[in-house]
A and B are shown apart, each in its own frame.
Chain A
């Protein structure tokens, strides 16, 4: 466990700055690892026919970091960055880089980690629409499902 913690880095940026993906890929690189898998979450330009201008993110930061670090991934290294504040269309709000000895673990872990973030990590986004179509707090189905089974949210 201590070894994993040393190799897992989570950063939550209070103000949105472009994410330096190369830096994080370099961070997880290791001679013994044969694969690096990454995931980027980016702001889409439409939702249900409405044009999206930007997403605005906020988080319960200390709890979010604690939640993410509690997600057990037995691999070489994990580096994740989350940006808060406004994230315009096309830009990245979350970036994950994971390395492993064989590719299946890194690929599986990327999917697992983003699914877990959507289910349990206290981060919220507001979708802001163009043409005075207002703004809406989004709700992840993964969270609603986790809540309905009693799970880890109680």
Chain B
């Protein structure tokens, strides 16, 4: 195949993947710290979630799996790839989502 034809083929495949986004499952790594770890019994998990999901969607799914976390839902914050994130942020495959209970450094 010539170079141009190869590029066109790749572009077509990308478009097909985009159209099927709703059905694609992506994987997000979820980290639990401090009280969150006490409540879940684990320091991390791999979460399978629909492509296009938000941080909020991930949190809801995690709390469904670990209902004990509901107790800190109101006071926790989230971080996506080591930066604080709003619940509305869209997660991508391979992202790292951290459950951050109230901090107490210093």
Contacts and interface: CB of A to CB of B under 8 A. Distances in A.
Q: Do A and B actually bind?
A: yes
A144 B87 CA distance: 17
Residue with the greatest number of chain B CB neighbours at <10 A, chosen from A122, A138, A140 = A122
A117 B82 contact: no
Given A122-B98, A144-B75, A147-B77, A59 B105 contact: yes
B82 A140 contact: no
A154 B86 contact: yes
Interface in A6-45: 41
B105 A123 contact: yes
Interface stretch (B1-9, B11-19, B30-38, B60-68): B30-38
Interface in B56-106: 75, 77, 79, 82-87, 98, 100-106
Interface in A119-149: 120-126, 137-140, 143-144, 147
A60 B100 contact: yes
Chain A contact surface mostly: mixed
Contact of A60 (B79, B85, B104): B79
A64 B79 CA distance: 11
Given A63-B83, A140-B104, 14 more contacts: A57-B105, A60-B82, A63-B82, A120-B103, A121-B105, A123-B104, A137-B34, A137-B38, A137-B101, A140-B103, A140-B105, A140-B106, A143-B103, A153-B77
Interface of B: 31, 33-35, 38, 75, 77, 79, 82-87, 98, 100-106
- Which 7 pairs between the two chains have the least Cβ-Cβ distance? A123-B105, A138-B104, A139-B102, A124-B34, A63-B82, A118-B106, A154-B86
